[in-house]
Amino acid sequence: MNVINNQLYIGELHASEIVKRFRTPVYVYDDDVIRHKYRELADSLSYPNVKIFYAAKANTNSRILEILREEGAGIDAVSPGEIMAALNAGFKPNQIMFTATAVSDEEMKFAISKKILVNADSISQLGRYGELNPNSDVCLRINPAVGAGHHDHVITGGPDSKFGIWVGDLEQAIAVAQAHKLNIVGLHQHIGSGILDANKFMNAVDVILAAAKNFRNLKFIDFGGGLGVPYSPDQKPIDINEFGKKLSGILAAFSKNYGKELLFIFEPGRYLVAESGALLCTVNTIKKTPKHKFVGVDTGFNHLIRPMAYGSYHPIVKISDAEGAEKEKVVVYGNICESGDVFTIGDRELPVLKEGDVLAIMVAGAYGYSMASNYNTRPRPAEILVSGKKMSVIRDAEKLKDMLE
């Protein structure tokens, strides 16, 4: 997915070809970008025993799951629905881990019935899991007391976070596991999402590796996801080769001291799919107040909630014709009946827009469609995958009549 001379290309197609065929609003993804991001991360890690478990929540489209399976990924699933989506996309049970929070016994029974490894998020869950499935393998999700992320809502480590077993309570967790003859085969953490400062990730790696020394039967350590991608022009991508090199050295040294070559797992979601996707929409209204010029489009936070939920920046590109040189400050707003439904947080300088122009809201492949809803009783759009010159519908647009049944 590239913007060249103010024109958007997805694979080898010009965005206008997609709009002509599918109209807007529509999500479009570039197959090559997903594969490239997967390989870039996998290749950066020279430690021999590493697996990438794609965090399906970022984008659960079955074709996207299949692409990542073809590349060699496993799956981080956070609900029975995501387990089913992964199994339907051809993942084997041993390629899936179930990492949920506030987990009910029914959900654990479901995972057990599908032979999926359960990652306990609390001592309560661990005890209940032990009752349901004694003498089995289990993983513990720890809260390493440090967190990071692009917004408070996505920081998942530290004393304010609901996630994981507090790192100071691991003795208690070991006792509960022993009482049920559970074999703790893995330790897991995930400190947050949208991390662009690799040092923050590394600090948490130190914490889990220190904790891991007290567990003698480990087969793997899972560092979670969280690797960020740049959204706004002022953000810099993580230097993934440097990250991989540094980490691989740490992992090799740890395994040597531990006495066996452990498996290390990473669970990226956003890093793999965010840059593969765009939400295309059409300007249908231009209006003004004394303070702002407003540009209304045929989509809203029901399709892409990140700006509304986190104040997130998404690049917006005019793709209907070459951008003119003239620019002006506008607020791009959606068709949902709430004032927070804006795609620019405040004014943004964009090429002068008119009704009928088509826009691409970029970097929308992660937490876009997967967080979409039917709010305001509006259908969700189609999802289109471009592979080279070929475009395929990988999810049909919802129809109002189906929604209302």
Ligand X SMILES: Cc1ncc(COP(=O)(O)O)c(C=O)c1O
Residues that bind ligand X (CB under 6 A): 55, 57-58, 76, 99, 156, 190, 193-194, 224-227, 267-271, 366
Q: Check 171, 234, 257, 337 and give the catalytic one.
A: 337
DSSP single-letter state for residue 73: -
Between residues 38 and 271, which has the closer beta carbon with respect to ligand X?
271
Between residues 211 and 366, which has the closer beta carbon with respect to ligand X?
366
Between residues 193 and 335, which has the closer beta carbon with respect to ligand X?
193
How near is the Cβ of 199 to ligand X at its closest, in Å?
Answer: 17
Of 172, 151, 165, 42, give the one whose Cα is nearest residue 99.
165
Q: Which are the contacts of 377, defined by CB distance < 8 A and separation ≥ 6?
A: 400, 403, 404
Which tokens belong to 288? 């003004």
- By three-state DSSP, how is residue 85 classified? helix
* C-alpha distances out from residue 127 to 62, 115, 171, 175, Å: 34, 18, 14, 10
Contact between 203 and 159 (Cβ < 8 Å): no
Count of Cβ atoms closer than 10 Å to residue 200 Cβ: 18
How near is the Cβ of 152 to ligand X at its closest, in Å?
Answer: 14
Contact between 387 and 34 (Cβ < 8 Å): no
How near is the Cβ of 112 to ligand X at its closest, in Å?
Answer: 19
How near is the Cβ of 274 to ligand X at its closest, in Å?
Answer: 8
- By three-state DSSP, how is residue 400 classified? helix
Match 């943004």 to its residue by tokens. 348
Phi, psi for residue 145 in degrees, rounded to 5: 75, 0
Between residues 74 and 300, which has the closer beta carbon with respect to ligand X?
74
DSSP single-letter state for residue 192: B
- By three-state DSSP, how is residue 39 classified? helix
* C-alpha distances out from residue 122 to 81, 127, 185, Å: 21, 9, 16
- Cα gap 143→269, rounded to integer Å: 19
Q: What b/e sequence results for 45-80 when a residue is b if at least 16 CB atoms lie within 10 Å of its CB, and e otherwise?
A: bebeebbbbbbbbbbbbebbbebbbebebbbbbbbb
Between residues 59 and 387, which has the closer beta carbon with respect to ligand X?
59
How near is the Cβ of 334 to ligand X at its closest, in Å?
Answer: 23
How near is the Cβ of 156 to ligand X at its closest, in Å?
Answer: 6
How near is the Cβ of 310 to ligand X at its closest, in Å?
Answer: 12
Between residues 266 and 343, which has the closer beta carbon with respect to ligand X?
266
For the question of residue 337 being annotated catalytic, the response is: yes
- Cα gap 127→151, rounded to integer Å: 32
Between residues 10 and 273, which has the closer beta carbon with respect to ligand X?
273
How near is the Cβ of 324 to ligand X at its closest, in Å?
Answer: 36
Between residues 200 and 270, which has the closer beta carbon with respect to ligand X?
270
DSSP string, 89-128: TT--GGGEEEE-SS--HHHHHHHHHTTPEEEESSHHHHHH
* C-alpha distances out from residue 139 to 257, 366, 380, Å: 21, 26, 36
Of 258, 149, 155, 166, give the one whose Cα is nearest residue 207.
166
Active site residues: 337
